[in-house]
């Protein structure tokens, strides 16, 4: 019986020159198999609409019983939401018991507390709701924002704490105890 000759595949690390040939029919190793052939690559785009609730604007412009809220400027709040969303997606993929998206209007919607820690400033805390409208469209609404050291959040609510070094920690309030649910490396350090 004749032995099957294995197909040798050369990994291309630099730009492809006109002399190199890529074998589209080759069987290569992927995360699931040692012998798989890539059939298709698709790129899906997602549209995210970001809203700021009137409550935020009132608190930013006029304050509350404790006075005007400083340090909750629109740009810093928006940057925190954009940075945190990538981490929330990572946690929802890696933690089976965690989801941050609201799908149907069933009862009270799930809200997430996003906290940005700073070296020498009071932490920024924002409360947001994420809604999935379709597979390609999401809606994010900022409910309110404040700077406070001892920020308390409701039972059953998650808090994503963004660290100074770009990492994050996901917490959950369970019956008054704040539990760490997961922590994340810098997203650029996660294997692609």
The two three-digit tokens of residue 38, written as one number: 């890539």
This prediction has a pTM of 0.77
Backbone conformation region of residue 71, classed left if phi is above 0, alpha if psi is from -120 to 50, else beta: left
If you count them, how many residues does the chain have?
A: 192
Spatial separation of the C-alpha atoms in residues 130 and 145, rounded to whole Å: 16
C-alpha span between 132 and 185 (Å, rounded): 26
Q: What integer pLDDT is reported at residue 181 of this predicted model? A: 84
- pLDDT score for 12: 53
In this prediction, residue 108 has a pLDDT band, given cuts at 50, 70 and 90, of confident
**Range of 19-33, 59-73, 177-191 with top mean pLDDT:** 19-33
Q: What is the pLDDT of residue 129?
A: 95
Tokens 């099957």 -> residue: 4
Mean pLDDT, rounded, of the chain: 84
């Amino acid at each position: 019986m004749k032995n099957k000759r294995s197909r040798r595949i050369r990994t291309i690390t630099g730009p492809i020159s006109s002399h190199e040939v890529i074998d589209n029919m080759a069987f290569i190793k992927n995360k699931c198999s040692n012998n798989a052939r890539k059939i298709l690559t698709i790129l899906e785009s997602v549209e995210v609409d970001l809203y700021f609730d009137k409550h935020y604007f009132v608190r930013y412009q006029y304050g509350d019983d404790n006075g005007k809220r400083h340090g909750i400027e629109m740009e810093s709040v928006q940057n925190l939401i954009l940075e945190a969303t990538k981490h929330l997606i990572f946690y929802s993929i890696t933690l089976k018991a965690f989801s941050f998206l609201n799908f149907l209007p069933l009862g009270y919607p799930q809200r997430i507390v996003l906290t940005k820690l700073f070296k020498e400033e009071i932490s920024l805390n924002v409360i947001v709701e994420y809604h999935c409208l379709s597979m390609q469209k999401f809606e994010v609404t900022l409910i309110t924002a404040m700077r406070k050291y001892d920020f308390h959040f409701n039972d059953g609510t998650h808090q994503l704490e963004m660290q100074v070094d770009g990492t994050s920690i996901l917490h959950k309030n369970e019956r008054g105890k704040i539990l760490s649910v997961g922590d994340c490396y810098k997203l650029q350090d996660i294997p692609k």
